[in-house]
Structure 1
Amino acid sequence: MVSRLSTGIPVLDRKLDGGIPPGSTVALCAPPASQAELLLTEFTASRPTLYLTTDRDEETVSAGFRRESSRRTPEVRYIPGDAPLDHARRLFQRLRSDSTLIIDPMNLLEREDPTRYRNFLHDLQSHLRGTDSLAILHCLDGRWVPDQRDITEHAVDVVFQLNTEISGDRVENRLAVPKFRGGRALPETIKLELTESVAIDTSRDIA
């Protein structure tokens, strides 16, 4: 079996035949009001991580990781609204081998010129393949989805789609993996419990 990089969630790794292939880009698409940040936290557990934030300051993001004393703290850098593609490119080019890059969220970059955005994704993927690293692009599926979202989902290797529904007194989170280039897309969704951490409801989804 081709070597895989862990998602930080063992049961999900098993469903993905060991994790995600090195050099992959992953789009994590989720509603803004979901607990998708918990999934991002899990992705930082296995490898050194560069965390690029586009809407929160560096100290706020870092403080959240420091509260989890059992976890490693990623390197956090803020991407300003002025020339965000250039800032993000300079930073990801520092990514070392066998590392993880997180961009949270991608929406600011997705609002840039389409040609420049495609070139950015191409350069990112080339760097990831050269370093056997992994990128997680957090894409907010809110009231205003950027025009370049189709470009993102087409270009990436893996799409994680988190759906959050409120039914009565229950909040239900389901993770779908409809796209997995170089692997196997999942035929069923995975029921997640997202509270203070990530847990998977094994009552139906896991045999």
Structure 2
Amino acid sequence: MSEQLSTGITVLDRELGGGLPAGSTVFLNADPASQSELFLYELTAVRGTLYLTTLRSGQAVQDAIGRTLGRTGSPTIRDVGGEAPLDVANKLIHDLPERANLIIDVVDVLEATDPVRYRTFLNELQTHMVNTGGLAILHGMKGDDPANRKYTKHMADVVFDLQTTVDGTEIENRLAVPKFRGGRAPDETIKLRLAEEVAVDTSRDIA
């Protein structure tokens, strides 16, 4: 069995049997209006992290991490949303050290490139993560899926699907893990509270 790496989120590690297999590429699919970035920020606390941002500026990401009340680290943040984002991201990824995290927030910008080049990028990314024993987290927004989103989902070893619903004054977040190569996915969704940190939502379900 491959080594399990902690996600930095206690409830998630417990549900996944200790964490994620080293070398995994993970796709986190979430609503743009959700607090899904908390997953990314808490992941930075457990090991060195290269954080590639494609929409927000590097300073905006740094400020957001600094305001987070949960446990976070000090990632290296690079804005790759300018000219040739796929090329810039690829170069930075090839310099990623052993056993490090890679976060791409959001992957939508890279998905909007030529399909052949994007598939090559995904294959090279997967190979690099396996060789270095780290974790890659590709954060994608739900909505009008980019043309290459299907390749992201297929290539990912693990898929996290964050479902956020608003019913009156109640906001409910449930995490499904429909795909988990190298491990056992939870049979049911995990009800989470996304506020100052990622935690189990212990409020009762309303029938």
Q: Give the TM-score of the pair, scaled to structure 2.
A: 0.93
In structure 2, relative to structure 1, the CA distance for the partners of 1:14 and 1:86 (3 Å cut) is same
Q: Any conservation in 1 of the 2:2–2:22 contact (CA below 8 Å)?
A: no
2-structure distance, mates of 1:91, 1:129: 16
Moved more, 64-73 or 92-101: 64-73
In structure 2, relative to structure 1, the CA distance for the partners of 1:141 and 1:68 (3 Å cut) is closer
2-structure distance, mates of 1:72, 1:171: 28
- Give, as a single letter, the amino acid of the residue that structure 2 aligns with 1:193: R
SS at match of 1:2: coil
2-structure distance, mates of 1:126, 1:21: 14
Q: Give the TM-score of the pair, scaled to structure 1.
A: 0.93
Q: CA offset at residue 67 of structure 1?
A: 3.5
Q: Any conservation in 1 of the 2:81–2:109 contact (CA below 8 Å)?
A: no
2-structure distance, mates of 1:18, 1:204: 26
Match of 1:16 in 2: 16
Q: How do 1:154-165 and structure 2 match up within 5 A? A: 154-165=154-165
SS at match of 2:20: coil
2-structure distance, mates of 1:105, 1:36: 11
1-structure distance, mates of 2:130, 2:29: 22
Q: How do 1:97-136 and structure 2 match up within 5 A? A: 97-136=98-137
Q: CA offset at residue 169 of structure 1?
A: 1.1
Q: CA offset at residue 75 of structure 1?
A: 0.3
- Give, as a single letter, the amino acid of the residue that structure 2 aligns with 1:39: F
SS at match of 1:179: strand
Match of 2:188 in 1: 188
- Give, as a single letter, the amino acid of the residue that structure 1 aligns with 2:85: P
2-structure distance, mates of 1:24, 1:204: 34
1-structure distance, mates of 2:176, 2:108: 20
Match of 2:177 in 1: 177
SS at match of 2:98: coil
Q: Any conservation in 1 of the 2:11–2:199 contact (CA below 8 Å)?
A: no
Moved more, 194-203 or 67-76: 67-76
SS at match of 2:5: coil
2-structure distance, mates of 1:135, 1:2: 16
Moved more, 194-203 or 115-124: 194-203
Q: How do 1:2-151 and structure 2 match up within 5 A? A: 2-68=2-68, 71-142=72-143, 144-151=144-151
User: Aligned residues: percent identity?
Assistant: 55
Q: Any conservation in 2 of the 1:25–1:156 contact (CA below 8 Å)?
A: yes
Q: CA offset at residue 71 of structure 1?
A: 3.0
In structure 2, relative to structure 1, the CA distance for the partners of 1:25 and 1:204 (3 Å cut) is farther
Q: CA offset at residue 195 of structure 1?
A: 1.2
Moved more, 182-191 or 58-67: 58-67
SS at match of 1:72: coil
1-structure distance, mates of 2:105, 2:139: 5
